[in-house]
Amino acid sequence: MNMFAMKEGLQKVAGTGYNVMSVFEKRLKPNTVITTPNSDVIYGLTFADLSATGPLVLEVPPRLQALMDDFWHRPLTGPVIDGRRYLGDVGIPGPDRGKGGRYLIVPDGYEGDTEGYFAFTCPTHGVFIFVRGFFSSVENLKPGVASVESLMIRPLEGGVEPMRFEHVSDLPANALFPADGVYFEMLDRFIRSEPSDAVDPYMHGMLAALGIAKGQTFAPTDRQRELLDLAAHTGWRMAKNIAGNFDGQDKALWWSDRRWVAHVKTEPDDFMHTLLDEQWRDRTTGHTDVDAKAHMFINHYSISTGMMSSIVGMGAKYGNAYKDSDGAYLKGENTYRLDMPPNPPANLFWSVTLYDAETAGGVDAEGQEYPSLNSMNDLDCNSDGSVTFHIGPNPPVGAKNWLKTVPGRGWFSLFRFYGPDQEFFDGKYRPGDFVKVDPRS
């Protein structure tokens, strides 16, 4: 439901249509509540409906980076080129390899001509098109915005509407799914908007037992609403508990002596091989890793091969930290130190971002425009080139590289290494953990 909630929340402020893209032209701020957004790139988000448009063409310029998912967060299935199947990726990690080209999104079973296109198949009506624009200085975001706004989307057949790039950085938006019984009303809207085979028959049966079925009106009684409200709260808490304790899962840690966990389970000391595929299935047994999937989609959204790539310099690597070095949850009233060794293994850039434990949106601390610091900021480095971050409600005396937190609110963090180099895959580079310190020291 994360994807559908993003669609409804952002379309309220930007409008609807395949040609409407929400562009965060000033980077993404905490006033837009999305699960773990990246505040250190320019986002462009479009939500299209193939049942209304038919096949869609993407005119992709050179050097773009984007992905395409269906509304189950699954990467669209693309072409096989030189023995490699492309899943969801567009631009630099995609089949055009950063040279630009024409992409075609078609529904399942499409039998039309796809010659001259990189054709991708989407099993749901809904399509999520997610573009990232990069910049080399936080003082000049124009190159990133221009990159995002160079993408053109149009139907393969019929009339073409001009692209509308809606600047939304300063517009508050709630793009979260409800954690109470209203969740099931949103779920009903989602089921009615998608083809029946978008969900397996067993799940359809489970939903039908709740009164959620295509062609029917969802009208629970007052008593049923009470139970649905309890169920939604319970499920949300269960998923949050799984995420917050994911460091205890087998093969979830990036490094055995650190608290950083991977989005996708990875063989210890062998970062070249993820243990799960893009649909969260174990590569050996084929079963769905339910806990790993819950961890991912209660606090994150979308996936593509580029996000899981083991190709040096390609895609990105992410790590979550929910606890400090002693295994205690990170709290907004405490003060912490995080040490990043010299030369983080990121060819494009690297960043550290703080997220609210409840919403997974950026920490919204008074006076702090962005909940992140990145290698494009004017970071204060130590004499050996390492970087020390200070995290807490008040800045330590004389300290730079400070990220502000909110007392009484839990938080967690993500590191991002864009364009990870060999040192990361070798496991030689190890960020420090969050260490609780005395704020007076």
First to last CA, the chain: 44
Given a contact cutoff of 8 angstroms between Cβ atoms, the answer to whether 328 and 411 are in contact is no
Burial of 185 (C-beta count, 10 Å sphere; 0-12/13-18/19+)? middle
Given a contact cutoff of 8 angstroms between Cβ atoms, the answer to whether 73 and 297 are in contact is yes
Tokens read off for 246: 């994911």
Given a contact cutoff of 8 angstroms between Cβ atoms, the answer to whether 385 and 369 are in contact is no
Residue ranges covered by each domain of the chain:
2-174, 182-243, 258-437
Cα(316)–Cα(89) distance, integer angstroms: 12
Cα(259)–Cα(315) distance, integer angstroms: 23
| One pLDDT digit (tens) per residue for the chain, 441 residues | 999 999 999 999 999 999 999 999 999 999 999 999 999 999 999 999 999 999 999 999 998 899 999 999 999 999 999 999 999 999 988 999 999 999 999 999 999 999 999 999 999 999 999 999 999 999 999 999 999 999 999 999 999 999 999 999 999 999 999 999 999 999 999 999 998 876 678 988 999 999 999 989 999 999 999 999 999 999 999 999 999 999 999 999 999 999 999 988 887 767 777 888 888 999 999 999 999 999 999 999 998 877 777 778 888 899 999 999 999 999 999 999 999 999 999 999 999 999 999 999 999 999 999 999 999 998 999 999 999 999 999 998 888 899 999 999 999 999 999 999 999 998 889 999 999 999 877
Given a contact cutoff of 8 angstroms between Cβ atoms, the answer to whether 104 and 120 are in contact is yes
Query: What are the φ/ψ torsions at residue 172 (nearest 5 degrees)?
Result: -60, 140
Rounded (to 5) percent helix, strand, coil in the chain: 20, 30, 50
Given a contact cutoff of 8 angstroms between Cβ atoms, the answer to whether 379 and 410 are in contact is no
Residue 273 has a pLDDT of 76
With CA atoms as reference, report the closest residue to 65 among 128, 131, 118. Answer: 131
Q: Under 8 Å CB-to-CB from 103, ≥6 apart: which residues?
A: 57, 58, 60, 68, 90, 94, 117, 118, 119, 120
**15-51 as b/e: b if 16+ CB within 10 A:** eebbbbbbbbbebbbbbbbbbbbbbbbbbbbbbbbbe
Distance of CA 231 to the CA centre of its chain: 26
Segments of 34-83 assigned E as strands: 42-49, 56-60, 65-70, 77-81
Residue 361 has a pLDDT of 98
Residue 130's DSSP bridge partners are: 45, 67
Task: Using only the alpha carbons of the chain, give its radius of gyration.
Answer: 22
Query: What are the φ/ψ torsions at residue 415 (nearest 5 degrees)?
Result: -100, 150
Tokens read off for 256: 């055995």
Cα(71)–Cα(192) distance, integer angstroms: 13
Residue 198 has a pLDDT of 67
Distance of CA 133 to the CA centre of its chain: 15
What three-state secondary structure class fits 381? strand
For CA atoms 338, 355, 280, 251, give the dihedral sign.
Answer: positive
Tokens read off for 262: 């991977």
- For the sheet containing 77-81, what is the strand order? 84-87, 77-81, 118-122, 101-107, 56-60, 152-155
Cα(361)–Cα(36) distance, integer angstroms: 5
Q: How many CA atoms lie within 13 A of 365 on its CB side?
A: 26
Segments of 234-345 assigned E as strands: 261-262, 316-321, 335-340
In the CATH scheme, what is the code of domain 258-437?
A: 2.60.120.600
C-alpha dihedral over 298, 300, 303, 309, to 10 degrees?
A: -120
Query: What are the φ/ψ torsions at residue 173 (nearest 5 degrees)?
Result: -150, 140
Q: What's the whole-model pTM score?
A: 0.96
2-174 is classed CATH 1.10.1520.10: no
Residue 173 has a pLDDT of 98
Query: What are the φ/ψ torsions at residue 6 (nearest 5 degrees)?
Result: -60, -45
Query: What are the φ/ψ torsions at residue 224 (nearest 5 degrees)?
Result: -65, -35
Given a contact cutoff of 8 angstroms between Cβ atoms, the answer to whether 42 and 141 are in contact is yes
* Length of the chain measured in residues: 441
